[in-house]
Amino acid sequence: MQTIRNFFRPSWSSAQRLEDKTVVITGANTGIGKETAIDLAKRGARIIMACRDMEKAQAAVKEVIESSSNENVVCMKLDLADSKSIREFAENINREEPKLNILINNAGVMVCPYGKTADGFEMQIGVNHFGHFLLTYLLLDLIKKSTPARIINVSSMAHSWGSINLEDINSEKSYDKRGAYSQSKLANVLFTRSLAKRLEGTGVTTYSLHPGVVQTDLWRHLSGPQQLVMKIVSPFTKNSTQGAQTSIYCAVEPTLEKESGGYYSDCAPADCSAAGKNDETAQKLWELSCQLLSITWE
C-alpha cells in the first residue's frame, strides 16, 4: 500500500555512527518516536526513551533492543502534561547522565477533546509546546556541555494552518481542536527559530520538521469518518519507519552541523509558513512561555 507514496519520495540514508552519543526521545514507545529510537540505537547511541506509560515503555525498550542488538536502551518516566514530572525527569537525567548529545522533542497529541494539563494548560499546546519548552530549558546546561549537540522539535505541516493566540493561548474562550493542534505545531517552529538565535556559537544546533502524513496512533482522536478517509488515502501516506526518516536526518546528517533554526521535510530543508518566520510572534511566544512556566530564560 505504501508503494505509490514511496515511488515519489526521494530517499536519504547515512552510515553515520553514534557510538558515545546519548539521545533522549520523548514519546518513544510508539509511532515515529519508536522507529527513531530503533534507528539511532542501530547506530550505537545510548537511547533514553522518555514515556508517560511505563508498561508500554518497557515493551518498547524490549523491541528496540531486539531490533537494534544494542543493549544500551532504557526508558524513563516523563509526562509532558505535568511540570512536576518534567522536572523530576530532568533532575534524574542531570544527575545520572554525563552527557546529552541529541534531544528529540517528538511526543505529541492531536485534535483531542478539550482538556487541561496538571498546570492548567490546554492539552495540545501544553504537551506539544509548553512541556517540551520546559524540558529543553531544564536539560540545556547538560546539552551545552555535550557539544556538538542537537535539539530536534517534531512539528507538522499543520503549523501552516495555525496562528498563535497570545490573548487566549489555552483556548479558554473558545476551543477549536484543529486550530489548537496547528497552534501547538506553529509554536514548535517558532520555538526552534528563537532557540537557534539564543544558541548561536554554543555548538548546539536546532531543527524543526514535518515527518509526513504517517499512519500512527496520533490519529486516535479522529472521528469514524475521518479515520475512514485516512484509510482511503493510506497509499499516499508513510509508515512509521518512513515517518521517522526526517527526524533521523536532523539528528545525524553531518551537513546540517552548520545550519540551525530551520524547518525540514522529506529529509531536506523546506519552507515553513510566513507565520513560522515571524520573529516578533516568536519573541512574544517565548516571553509568554517563560511567564506561564515561571522560568527565566533570556
CB of 121 to ligand NAP, least distance (A): 11
Find the farthest-apart pair of alpha carbons in the chain and give their distance in angstroms, rounded.
50
User: What angle is formed at CA 169 by the lines to CA 182 and CA 158, rounded to 5 degrees?
Assistant: 5
Question: At closest approach, how far in Å is the CB of 203 from ligand NAP?
Answer: 26
Nearer to ligand NAP (CB atom), residue 80 or residue 195: 80
Q: Which is nearer to ligand NAP, 65 or 202 (CB)?
A: 65
Q: Which is nearer to ligand NAP, 44 or 76 (CB)?
A: 76
Backbone angles phi, psi at 48, to 5 degrees: -110, 115
Alpha-carbon torsion, ordered 253, 255, 261, 262, to 10 deg: -80
Query: From residue 249, how far is each of 141, 207, 217, 218 by CA, in Å?
Result: 24, 10, 22, 21
Q: Which residues bind ligand NAP (CB under 6 A)?
A: 26-27, 29-33, 51-53, 56, 78-81, 106-110, 127, 154, 156, 210-211, 213-214, 216-218
Alpha-carbon gap, residue 298 to 289, rounded angstroms = 12
3-state helix, strand and coil shares in percent for the chain, rounded to the nearest 5: 50, 15, 35
Residue closer to ligand NAP (CB basis): 82 or 97: 82
Grid coordinates representing 184 are 501547538
The three-state secondary structure class of 73 is strand
Residue of 137, 175, 181, 207 marked catalytic: 181
**Active-site residue flag, 263:** no
DSSP three-state, residue 148: coil
User: How many Cα atoms occupy the beta-carbon half-sphere of 118 within 13 Å?
Assistant: 9
Cβ at position 106, least distance to ligand NAP in Å: 5
Residue 88 has φ and ψ, to the nearest 5°, of: -65, -45
Q: How far is the CB of 51 from ligand NAP (least distance, A)?
A: 6
Taking the C-alpha atoms of residue 182 and residue 165, their distance in angstroms, rounded to an integer, is 11
Shortest Cβ distance from residue 104 to ligand NAP (Å)? Answer: 10
Smallest distance, Å, CB 233 to ligand NAP?
Answer: 11
Looking from the CA of 279 toward its CB, the CA atoms found within 13 Å total: 4
Nearer to ligand NAP, 80 or 204 (CB): 80
C-alpha torsion angle, residues 26, 28, 33, 35 (rounded to 10):
150
Residue 78 or 169: the one with the smaller Cβ distance to ligand NAP is 78
Q: Residues with catalytic annotation?
A: 181
